[in-house]
Structure 1
Amino acid sequence: MLPAAAGYDRAITVFSPDGRLYQVEYAIETVRRGTLAIGIKAKDGVVLAVEEKTRKLQINNVTQKIFQVDDHIGVAAAGYIPDARTQVDHARFFAQSNRLIYDEPVDVEGVAKNIADMAQQFTQYAGVRPFGVALLLAGVDKNGANLFLTDPSGTYIGYDAMAIGAGSDQVTDFLEKSYKQDISLAEAASLAVECIYLVSEDKSSTKHMKMAIIDTKTKAMRKVEDEELEKYAASAKEKAGRHPA
């Protein structure tokens, strides 16, 4: 760090002379060091996929990085996952309150904005630190399929396809070239697997992947089981010019 900037990373509420909040930037760097998470919007739903690196004796049938906020909304996280749990609990409370007050499911953008507002509060006051996690919120509401990104700065932005975590820059470049507006859910799921293979050390199995789908017909999030994930992986390998394992 340059001498002129020294000391400005000590307090979260102090801007550096060049207009930066270093603690917020450090939190965003934490997200970049997390394992990959991907969201892809299709014409008939939304796909969330993550890479989870498990230890040899770890029970891996419980997903650590994909959460359900409401029947129709799911979240994929990258970064400091305990922070993600706090934000997801906050989002669940907001979603259930909306059902009780208005007797209707909450909009996906409303949840994204609520989480982003919460994150922004933790960049503004002394005695706290920013959340070290970014979230991809996917869901189907009255506006159709939606995908939003929230980050530690309190920003939320809508996307057709987005990647966060380690290798996300490379995956985002790949998505910009490969994504099409009329993509189907099955094609989006296969594309998500292809993205994980692009940056993962394991380029054959699906044991290090978790996936969830929210489709426009049921408007309900469901976990993708191993057998179905294998089919998407086989399709991804075939598309990439590799033979299925």
Structure 2
Amino acid sequence: MMASRGYDMTPTMYSPDGRIYQVEYAIETVKRGTIAIGILSKEGVILAVEEKPRPLQTKNITQKIFQVDYHIGVAAAGYIPDARVQVDSARFFSQGNRMTYDESVEVATVAKHLADQAHQFTQYGGVRPNGVSMIIAGIDQKGESIYVTDPSGTYLQYSAVAIGAGAEDVNEFLEKFYNEDMSLDDAAALAIAAINLKAEQKDGANNVKMAKITAESKVFEKISQADVENYSKNASKFDTQ
């Protein structure tokens, strides 16, 4: 990386080679975060994250998966306090949409709202870009969908995606094994296998937290650790060896 020469003092300044260093720094923060994954299946949507709790930390609470509305969830990678602020904004936005239009908000609309907010922090002095990327997943009137936002304000739609540390290798793994006709159980097993692909310790489902939104219920649900353990038994079918 070339020397910044002061061009990284504010997100409003481009370097001579057309870069915004503070945005690049924020994206590097995302790459240092533990992995988060979203996968579409024919039966719904899976969100999964890697979390390594401290010895005395309560283990049944996830810090990286959030509910935005009854039909939308978010998984984050990077600086999680920034994620909490963005999720709170998404919740206000979602409820405002319901009160104004008397209908649930679309997943794409929430993704665009969060991306627009992230972009705002690249345009003004005295602020810094959000150091977090988020997977926004849900089921609305148009069906299942997954979007990813990043610190620059970009948002893109995916069928399966990973963000965080080692995401490039994990995304190659997903490209190899993902099938749009897979069941929700297989999608969950694939997510666990993908997380363990880059994990320092291959602990199966011990450091995995998951949530789902099924096509039948269209409601965000946290998946119990016992169910995550059951899904992990099928993760070996995605062995790369």
Question: 189-198 or 175-184: which moved more?
Answer: 175-184
2:136, 2:148 within 8 Å by CA — same for their partners in 1?
Answer: yes
Residue 128 of structure 2 is matched in structure 1 by 129
- Please list every run of at least 4 consecutive aligned residues from structure 1 whose deviation after the TM superposition is greater than 4 angstroms: none
Structure 2 counterpart SS, 1:12: coil
- 1:4-58: per-residue Cα shift (whole Å, max 9, x none)? x411111211000111100000000000000000000111211000000111111
* 1:47 pairs with 2:46: yes
1:40, 1:46 within 8 Å by CA — same for their partners in 2?
Answer: yes
Aligned length: 241
1:44, 1:145 within 8 Å by CA — same for their partners in 2?
Answer: no
- 1:103-136: per-residue Cα shift (whole Å, max 9, x none)? 1110000000000000000000001000000000
Residue 29 of structure 2 is matched in structure 1 by 30
Measured at CA, do residues 127 and 169 of structure 1 come closer, stay the same or move farther in structure 2, by a change above 3 Å?
same
- 1:143-191: per-residue Cα shift (whole Å, max 9, x none)? 1000000000000000000000011111001011111121111110010
1:78, 1:134 within 8 Å by CA — same for their partners in 2?
Answer: yes
Question: 98-107 or 204-213: which moved more?
Answer: 204-213
Residue 149 of structure 1 is matched in structure 2 by 148
Instruction: For residue 238 of structure 1, report the CA deviation from its aligned partner.
Output: 4.8
Structure 1 counterpart SS, 2:186: helix
The TM-score normalised by the length of structure 2 is 0.97
Instruction: For residue 239 of structure 1, report the CA deviation from its aligned partner.
Output: 4.4
Residue 97 of structure 1 is matched in structure 2 by 96
Identity percentage of aligned residues: 57
Instruction: For residue 73 of structure 1, report the CA deviation from its aligned partner.
Output: 0.2
Residue 186 of structure 1 is matched in structure 2 by 185
Structure 2 counterpart SS, 1:27: helix
